[in-house]
Chains A and B, each alone.
Chain A
């Protein structure tokens, strides 16, 4: 697992999973449909990604499907990091 996946995974574990909640979590675990991150909390997760990686994710690209696993989120970050770098 690379640094990007590790960082996002650690953030989700820290911020969205209760201490003592022993549910397994890996990069493929469904986050939105699995009830770990709800649509309101997606706003703070998006804010974290934008702040941490100095990117801007348009709302149109930040739907529940795109945030449904660490793997998908990492792809989103890579996509917008590349766009930002080109700009």
Chain B
């Protein structure tokens, strides 16, 4: 069944005819629109700020920021240009060199967005990390990346201080709100408003292959991997933003993803600003009334959200939405997990517009499969490949594309689009394993129908997708084992009506400990503080033993299947490694 749009139908979408775009596609379209000349440096930071100013949009608002306490700050593209130069100059004086990793460990404050642009101008590799990460998650990622500097706020500084000795390569801790704070050796205050302005900065002459952003992503085994993006990703992020999110000159855009995750950088910074679009940021936790009020007051016209948030809004009902004037909205899109058909129908009822599901991964850097503005969408479907992206359903064993429709297989993508990562940080073997017979294998299972629409089925591994964030079971299990009561541990995905999946842990206890609600809560909080709220098991089952293969490997599948009402399978076969 198709769903068509209402208000949106009245406007011509940027993508125009999908079929026409497929026939005539070339990534050079993005190059031409952005004024690239062969051999030109491609510094992302410059393209997000100086290029927009040169095109005559310097006085246009780039960022409208609102804090949880109602504080407001607004920056034009010209402010973005000069302040990002100030950031670049500051880190240059501090001694940070191009290629060094600089972590942004910040809430959604303006310093995060402007700092991102400034560090790219310097040529540093930006490593954004979710500010709710606990110290173990932070330590793992800083240690792996060999991070040279971290930018943070006073509220997160205690966490940084606790791990600092364990990361000797972390030479600089920069605090953006340090007024009145007694800083220690190696800590430096940076006040964006008070810092002497640097109107100009000689941008690092990045090529399309120069490393730009390092986002960490979780897998089934081992610690998280650093996905290495490059400056040339800009071409794909620019064009997908323009054609999928349909940003136009007068739009006010809101992407409610945190830049600690890839959506928050690809489409919360690079996409809108490379298109010269005004974006609004709300640094506040979720509340339906707060969000609706923000959309109404800021006159948000394009909103990129996530199924978990949409389902939370659904809980509040359509009446909650109708209390506000949301008539400014004209296009809605979603990412992170499959968007259920009910959410699409509900959004039409609540906003008069359907949410358009989009699909991509940290590794792809840009949207690769999507429902497009101005075209009918099939609720529950991921949509069709973006022009320039070759996507197929691969046989899970042979990795050969399957021709028949409706057959479940792995989503495979032909490498070659500009924003595909160039590797995992210091882990070439891990990266090589992602490719089979010339295809990048996403690890997601899906089917394709006769119209070419893809339909998500599930993951092909044990990674837990909770609220659109991937959690690696290995990380959770390792953290659980650090609790004094836990002898053995396993973590699996459990279905959840809001977050799609949540973490469920199975543990055996050491002698002298007894199961009970107090211990369960203690272990939950223990993992939350070490890793993050996302990785915290929302349920812990105390068991006598854990199912294992003959060589001792934990059989997560045996624990997971009953949670989903699936058959466990032949245990004698499963026990073979």
- A: residues with CB less than 8 A from B are 15, 18-23, 30, 32-35, 37-41, 43-44, 47-48, 50-51, 60, 63-65, 68
Inter-subunit contact B525/A38 (CB<8 Å) = no
Distance from A8 Cβ to chain B, minimum over Cβ atoms (Å): 14
**In contact, A64 and B156 (Cβ under 8 angstroms):** no
- List the one stretch of B17-25, B41-49, B191-199, B287-295 in contact with chain A: B287-295
Which A residue's beta carbon lies closest to that of B533?
A40
Residues in chain B near residue A51, CB distance under 8 A: 517-518, 521
Within the complex, what minimum Cβ distance (angstroms) separates A55 from chain B? 12
Question: How many angstroms between the C-alpha atoms of A43 and B466 in the bound complex?
Answer: 14
Give bound CA distance, A87 to B102, whole Å.
57
Q: Check A64/B287 contact, CB under 8 A, given A18-B156, A41-B536.
A: yes
Which of A34, A39, A44 contacts B68 (CB under 8 A)? A34
Q: Which residues of A contact B520 (CB under 8 A)?
A: 47
Separation in Å of the A13 CB from the closest CB of chain B?
Answer: 13
Given contacts A38-B132, A39-B312, A51-B518, contact A33 B154 (CB under 8 A): no
Q: Is B505 an interface position by the 8 A CB rule? A: no
B157, B289, B517, B521, most chain A CB atoms within 10 A: B521
- Whether B284 lies near A35 (C-beta < 8 A) is yes
Alpha-carbon distance A43/B536, docked complex (angstroms): 9
**B158 interface hit (Cβ, 8 Å):** yes
Give A76 Cβ to nearest chain B Cβ, in Å. 16
How many contacting A-B pairs (Cβ < 8 A)?
A: 83
Is the CB–CB distance between A44 and B155 below 8 Å? no
Contacts of B288 in A (CB 8 A): 64-65
Pair B154/A38 contact, Cβ less than 8 Å = no
- Any chain A CB within 8 A of the CB of B538? yes
B69 touches A34 (CB 8 A): yes
**Residue B422 at the A interface, CB < 8 A?**
no
B309 to chain A, nearest CB (A): 9
Whether, in the assembled complex, B107 has its beta carbon less than 8 Å from a beta carbon of chain A, the answer is yes
Say yes or no for B547: interface residue by CB 8 A criterion: no
User: Would you give the shortest CB distance from B425 to chain A, in whole angstroms?
Assistant: 27
Interface size class of B (residues with CB under 8 A): 35 or more
- B289 and A35: CB pair below 8 A? no
Assuming the contacts A22-B154, A32-B286, A63-B315, asked whether A40 and B521 have C-beta atoms less than 8 A apart, the reply is no
Question: Considering the chains assembled together, what is the distance between the CA atoms of A87 and B290 in angstroms?
Answer: 36
If A34-B69, A50-B517 are given as contacts, then 4 extra A-B residue pairs at C-beta distance below 8 Å, sorted by A number, are A38-B533, A40-B466, A40-B533, A43-B538
Chain A nearest Cβ from B334, distance in angstroms? 17
Asked if A34 meets B284 with Cβ closer than 8 Å, knowing A21-B158, A40-B533, A44-B528, the reply is: yes
Q: Mark B519-538, 1 if CB is under 8 A from A, else 0.
A: 01100110010000110101
User: What residues of chain B lie closer than 8 Å to A21, measured between beta carbons?
Assistant: 154-155, 158
* Cα–Cα, bound, A32→B288 (Å): 11
- Shortest distance from the beta carbon of B497 to any chain A beta carbon, whole Å: 8
Residue contact A20 to B158, C-beta cutoff 8 Å: yes
Q: Is B187 an interface residue (CB 8 A)?
A: no
Known: A20-B157, A32-B285, A65-B288. Is A44-B107 also a contact (CB below 8 A)? no
| 19 interchain pairs, CB-CB under 8 A | A19-B158, A20-B161, A30-B68, A32-B286, A33-B285, A34-B285, A37-B285, A38-B533, A39-B285, A40-B467, A40-B533, A40-B538, A41-B536, A44-B524, A47-B520, A60-B315, A63-B315, A65-B287, A65-B288
In the complex, whether B345 has a CB less than 8 A from a CB of chain A is: no
* Chain B residue nearest to A44 in the complex (CB): B524
CB contacts (< 8 Å) of B156 on chain A: these are 18
Residue on A nearest B159 in the bound complex, by CB? A18
A58 to B154, CA, bound (A): 36
Q: Which of B47-97 contact A (CB under 8 A)?
A: 68-69
Residue of A nearest to B535 (CB): A40
Contact with A15, one of B283, B290, B525 (Cβ below 8 angstroms): B525
Partner of A39, one of B155, B286, B517, B528: B286
Tell me which of B155, B284, B316, B466 has the highest count of chain A C-beta atoms within 10 A of its own C-beta: B155
A-B complex: 9 closest residue pairs judged by Cβ atoms: A20-B158, A40-B533, A41-B533, A32-B285, A51-B517, A21-B155, A18-B158, A33-B287, A34-B68
Closest to A20 in B: B158
Q: In the complex, A15→B522 CA distance in Å? A: 10
The reply to whether A32 and B287 contact each other, CB–CB distance below 8 Å, is: yes
Using an 8 Å CB-CB cutoff, how does the interface string of B531-568 with A read, 1 for contact, 0 for none?
00110101000000000000000000000000000000
Chain A residue at minimal CB-CB distance from B290: A33
Query: In the complex the two chains form, is A41's CB within 8 Å of B287's CB?
Result: no
Q: Contact partner of A44 among B158, B289, B499, B521, CB < 8 A?
A: B521
**Residues of A contacting B315 in the complex (Cβ-Cβ under 8 angstroms):** 60, 63
Give the residue of B68, B158, B312 whose beta carbon is less than 8 angstroms from that of A33. Answer: B68
